[in-house]
Structure 1
Amino acid sequence: MKIPDWKKYQEDTAEFFRSLGLEAKTDYAIEGVRTKHDIDVFVVSKLVGLNAIWLIECKYWARPVSKLHVLALREIVSDVGADKGIILSENGFQKGAVEAAKFTNIEVNSLAKLRGQLETVVYSIRLRNLAARVTACEKKYWSLPKSKRIEFGLRPPGGIGFGYNGGSVIDACRNFLFEAATNDFPFSTGLYFDMPDMLGVRVPEVLKSNQDVNNWIEPMVEILEKKIETVPIASHD
C-alpha cells in the first residue's frame, strides 16, 4: 500500500533530522502541564551536551498555513516546555502566520529550505565538537612514553607505514578539519587516502562536504579514544 503524501512528508522530515545525528520520532504523544499533545515529529538534539526539544508540525497542504496554526503551536510549545516549534509547509504561509511567528520560538519554513539551513549549522557544531575531541586525544597521546604507545597499539614499532598510528590519525583529523573550516570543497585526502592500517578506517580519495568530513573523522576519533582508554592512567606523564 502506498504511503499517503502527508505521512511521507512527516517521515521525510524525521529522516532528515536523523541524518543530522538528532533523535526524531513521528506521531509522538507528549504530556504537557495542561494536557497531552500529539506531535507530528518530535526531535531531541544532544549536540552540545544539553537536550534541546523541538516540536515539528508538518502541513502537507495545498493552501498556505494560517495564523491560527502558528498560535496553536506556540501554546503547545509553552505547555510542553519545548525549546522550539517548527511548522513546515511546502505551499507557504499566510502573512498573519509569518507575523505571528516573528520574535518567538516558533519557526515557519519548508523542508526544502530547512535542509540547507540546518545542515550547515549542525555540521559546523559537530565539527567543532570533533576538533575539541581531537585536541583532548592529542594531549593524552603525547603524554604517553613511546614505549607505552607501542605496547598499547597506538603506534607501530617501526614508525609510519607499518600499522595503526595515533599520531597520523591526529594529523589527518587536523588536516581535514582545516580544509572544512576554509570551506575548500571538494578536497583531496592526499597521503591519507586508502590507508586503513594506519588510520583505522579507509578514507576516500576526496571529501566533498562538512558531512563527509564529519562522517570520516568521527570513527577515526572514536577508535583513537578507545585505544587511549585502554592505557592505565599511571602510564601518562
Structure 2
Amino acid sequence: MPPDWSDYQENAAVFFRGLGMHAETNASLSGVRTTHHVDVAVRSEHSGFSILWIVECKRWKTKVSKLHVLALRQIVTDLGADRGVLLCEAGVQSGAAEASNLTNVSISSLKALQSTAYEQIHAMRIRDLFDRVEACKVRYWAIPKTIRIECGLRPEVGDLSYSGANIIDVLSELLSKGLRGNYPITCDELRSTVARLPALYESSEVLLRILAPVVSELESRLEVGEAAFKETDSA
C-alpha cells in the first residue's frame, strides 16, 4: 500500500480535478534557476489564459513552520507560477500565516478545501486576477501617452472608446471588494458604464466569469503597446 503522504497528494490532486482543473502529482518543473519537484502541479485555462498553481502537501503531525511558507514562495517565484497552496492538516506555527499574508501563497487544509471548495478556490482566483491588474497598472503607466493612444489603450480627449486607465480602476475596485467576499458587490455606475462593465455582481462566480476575460484583454492590449514602445525606443 502507498504511504499516507502519497495518498494525501493523490487526494489533493483528485480534489482539484473534480473542479475541472488538471492536476499532476510528483511533477518536475523547470524554473529560472533550477528544476523543482513539487507535490502537485495544478493547471487550468480561463478565457485563453493559462494558470499554474503549485500545491505542497504536508500531512504531518506537527505544525508547518514559517520556513516552509517562505520556501514555497521561492518556488512559486522561480517557476513564475500564479499561486502556491500549502495544504496541512495539523495547522501552522506562529509566523507562518503572517508569512503568507498579502502574497500569492495560501495556507489551508484538504479538509477545509473540501468543505468550502468553491468559495476558497474562487477567492484564490480573485486574488490572482487582482495581482494581475496591479501588474497591469504599472505596465500601463510605463507606456508613453502617445503610444497608448495609437495602440487603443487610451482614448483621445472627448472620445469614449477603450480606456485602459478606467478599466484598471474599475477592475481594482471590484476585485478588492471581491476579496472581502461580501456579496453582492457594486461599482460606481458611471465608471462601470464607461468601462462597459456591469455595476452589480451577485456572487464570486459571476465576478470571475465577467472580469477574467476583461483582464486578459487588457493584458493583450498592453503587450501591443509595449511592443510598439520598444520599436520606437530602438529606432
* TM-score, reference length from structure 2: 0.51
Which of the two has higher C-alpha Rg? 1
Contact 2:130 / 2:176 at 8 angstroms: preserved in 1?
no
* Equivalent residue letter for 1:176: L
Unaligned runs of 5+ in 2: 1-14, 26-39, 45-50, 58-88, 91-108
C-alpha deviations, 1:192-234, integer Å up to 9, x for none?
A: 44x4xx53xx533410122222222211111111011112252
* Equivalent residue letter for 1:227: R
CA spacing shift, 1:207–1:145, aligned 2, 3 Å? same
Residue in structure 2 matched with residue 90 of structure 1 by the alignment: none
The match for 1:223 among 208, 212, 217 is 217
TM-aligned CA deviation for residue 14 of structure 1: 8.7
CA spacing shift, 1:218–1:203, aligned 2, 3 Å? same
CA spacing shift, 1:204–1:50, aligned 2, 3 Å? closer
- RMSD over aligned Cα, in angstroms? 4.1
Is 1:171 matched up with 2:169? Answer: yes
Residue in structure 2 matched with residue 17 of structure 1 by the alignment: 19
* Equivalent residue letter for 1:128: R
Contact 2:16 / 2:42 at 8 angstroms: preserved in 1?
no
CA spacing shift, 1:14–1:49, aligned 2, 3 Å? closer
Unaligned runs of 5+ in 1: 1-12, 25-29, 31-42, 55-101
Q: How do residues 1-237 of structure 1 correspond to structure 2 at under 5 angstroms? A: 17-18=19-20, 22-23=21-22, 45-46=42-43, 49-50=52-53, 52=55, 117-159=116-158, 162-189=160-187, 190-193=189-192, 195=193, 198-199=194-195, 202-231=196-225, 232=227, 233-234=229-230
* Equivalent residue letter for 1:153: G
CA spacing shift, 1:145–1:209, aligned 2, 3 Å? same
TM-aligned CA deviation for residue 187 of structure 1: 2.1
Q: Distance in 1 between matches of 2:121 and 2:221?
A: 28
C-alpha deviations, 1:108-156, integer Å up to 9, x for none?
A: 97xxx96761112111111111111111111111111211110000011
CA spacing shift, 1:204–1:15, aligned 2, 3 Å? farther
TM-aligned CA deviation for residue 171 of structure 1: 0.5
Sequence identity (%):
26
* TM-score, reference length from structure 1: 0.51
